[in-house]
Every structure is written in structure tokens, then in C-alpha cells.
Amino acid sequence: MTFLTQENHFDKIQEMKNEGLADESENLDNLEDDDFIDDGIVESAAGENLTPGTPVYHLRLACSSETFYAVYEGAELFPKSQVVVSTRYGRDLAVVIRQIKDCKKNVSKVARIERPATEKDLERARYNAKLEEKAFQVCHDLIKEQNLDMKLLAAHYLLEDPKIVFFYTAERRVDFRALLKGLVAYFKVRIELRQIVFRDDSKIHGGMGVCGRDFCCHSVFERLKPISIRMAKDQKLSLNTMKISGPCEKLLCCLSFEHDFYQEQIKLMPPEGFKIAYDGAIWKVVEVNVVLGVATLSLEDGRRIYLPKTQFEKVEGRWQIKKNQDKQSEEAEEGGSHG
């Protein structure tokens, strides 16, 4: 998830910030990710000279499912193990996804793992989970009491810092001065209200998609590129919003996940509408099936043939069918089908 600081001009919040009890609200927006990692997720290790071969680990923050990278020079860490790491939220638990071998990316923005999680850390996390249930209910009741147009998603206690982070969604900017004041007065700790976009609601909680698998945004650890309707068109999907959108009411993540495959394969066959000479006649490409790797060609009299992508080649910028090659087409009469 990408986080943008949203400046707060409320005088009361600034007074509370000066007292060290409240943080500025930060707005999570669906912007394009940079080449490696979001600056806002980690406390940067910039300025430190990392020796060649320093192990870099891909981590997942337990409270929000954000993924990021961190270095650790101690004993090797294994997938699914938990570690304590400093993030912008504060010191918290993260789960090791994998170790990055021979990392050649920019390591000036990675986090630094403090230590593997101890049994005491895990016990504290379990205790905090119980406190989070009450914190969520208290915040939810205050939101309802103050009639605020926002949806509370989760409450999270930091592992070591006296701070609670509340995640919420809202369609517009919310004046939460009274809410923040009430939360600070009740819990007597630092409070952070973090707004996220609706897609990240699904990313935090997870769920089952229409394919029967866990949501891509929750289970696919690498960031997906921004999703557009063009991806659905390139994959020749129905533009029915009920079919190409997920529970978050946004375009399905898998459109982005599979788009590169379609872009690569579509270059191996002529586009629909293209006319091409074959077997002594001029045929028109009427359909391109990227998944099967087959193009359907038709004549005006209704005859059709189906050619695999391996029979096409581009010569001087124009598509043609390879010569001196055995025919691999399947002819069908009008009204016939491709088996």
C-alpha cells in the first residue's frame, strides 16, 4: 500500500501533536508504486553503507498486509518466521516471506530488522489482540455517536510503542477532531487515524475471490501495477462491471496480474480484421484466442480455418503465413465449430 501524508490544519490536532499524543492522519491512495519500496512504510536505513552480500528479506506487516524489504545481518531467517522491525508506525511484528538472493535493487530505502521475535514478543502480540477488540468497539461507538461518515476497519496496538493505529475508509475528508480527542482521553496513548482506499480494505482482511482462491491483493506479495479498464479490453473480457470487479467494487487485481501474458502473446499473431493470403485465397482474421494461441480466419463464403500462432511470421512489418510448412489448420463448414 502506498501512503501519502495528508496535512492537517486543525488547530486542536496540532496542539495534541505538540503534547505527543496524536499523529497526523495519513491518506492511503492508489498511486503508482516506485521501483522498489514505498518511502512511507519503513524507517529508512539510508546513509548506512551495506556491505555486499548483506541478506535482504521480503517482509509482510502483520497488521495491514503491507509488504516491504529489510536487512538483517544475524543468523539466517526462514519463511513464516516473525521479526521485530521499525516501521513508520513504530516497532512492530512482521512475517518473513522470503530472502532475496543477490539483491541488485536499490537498498537505500529498506528497513532494518531489529531481532527475531521472541516468545515474549509473541505473547505480547496475543495480549494486544485482545485489547484491539475493545479498542475497535470503543472507536466504533464514538464514530456512531458523532455520526461521522467513515467506516472503521481495524484497530492495532503497536508491539512496543504506546500507540494505537485505527484504519478506516471514507468517501471524503472527515473532520475527526472530536473523535481523536475522545480516543486520546479514553486510552491515554498516542492515536493514529489512517485512511485507506476501499481496495485496501480487502487487502487487510482477505477473502475468497470469484475464482475460489484468496484475494490477489491479500495473497500476492509483490505489488501489482495500477489496474485499468484497458486491461479488461486487451483480455477480451466482458465489460460488465459485475464480472470484472471484486468485493472492493474496484477492478479485479488479476487483470493486472495476467496482463503481461496477454501483451506478450498478442504480438505473436495478426490482429482481428487483418487480411492475409493463404492457400490461394484472401482470408480475414475474425478472432484471436490468446489463451489457446490460435487465430480464426474466415472467407466471405463462410469457410473458416484455425491456425496456431507458430504458423505466423512478420516480414517487413506485415503478417504472413510461414511458407514450406505443413498445414496445421482445421477447416469447417459454415456453422461448424472449433473442437
| Span 171-197, average pLDDT | 91
Cell numbers 510461414 label which residue? 322
Q: What's the pLDDT score for residue 338?
A: 47
Predicted confidence at residue 317, as pLDDT, reads 86
Pairing of strands 91-100, 82-86: antiparallel
Task: Find out whether 164 and 63 touch, Cβ atoms under 8 Å.
Answer: no
Grade residue 27 by pLDDT with cuts at 50, 70 and 90: very low
Q: Domains in the chain, start-ordered, CATH in brackets?
A: 3-29+122-199 (3.30.300), 56-117 (no CATH), 209-266 (no CATH), 268-339 (no CATH)
Q: In angstroms, what CA-CA distances link 240 with 98, 233, 243?
A: 38, 11, 6
Q: How would you classify the pairing of strands 67-71 and 111-116?
A: parallel
- pLDDT tops 50 at residue 96: yes
Identity of the residue numbered 257? F
- pLDDT > 90 fraction of the chain, expressed in percent and rounded: 34
**Model confidence pLDDT, tens digit, residues 131-144:** 999 999 999 999 99
The model carries a pTM of 0.62
State how far the Cα of 50 lies from the Cα of 68, in Å rounded to an integer: 17
Which pLDDT score is estimated for 181? Answer: 94
Rounded to whole angstroms, the Cα distance separating 90 from 151 reads: 24
Number of H helices, E strands in the chain: 8, 16
Non-local (6+) Cβ contacts of 72 within 8 A are 55, 57, 83, 112, 113
Residue with cell 480527542: 181
Per-residue pLDDT for 76 more than 50?
yes
pLDDT at 50: 57
Strand partners, 171: none
CA distances to 154, 176, 249, 260 from 202, rounded to whole Å, are 12, 24, 10, 24
Amino acid at 94: A
Mean pLDDT score of the chain:
77
What was the pLDDT predicted at 103? 63
H or E segment to which residue 53 belongs: none
- Dihedral angle sign, alpha carbons of residues 31, 32, 37, 39: negative
Element (H, E) at 312: strand 312-315
C-alpha cell at 84: 521485530
What is the SS3 assignment for 253?
A: helix
Quickly state the pLDDT bin for 163 (edges 50, 70, 90): very high
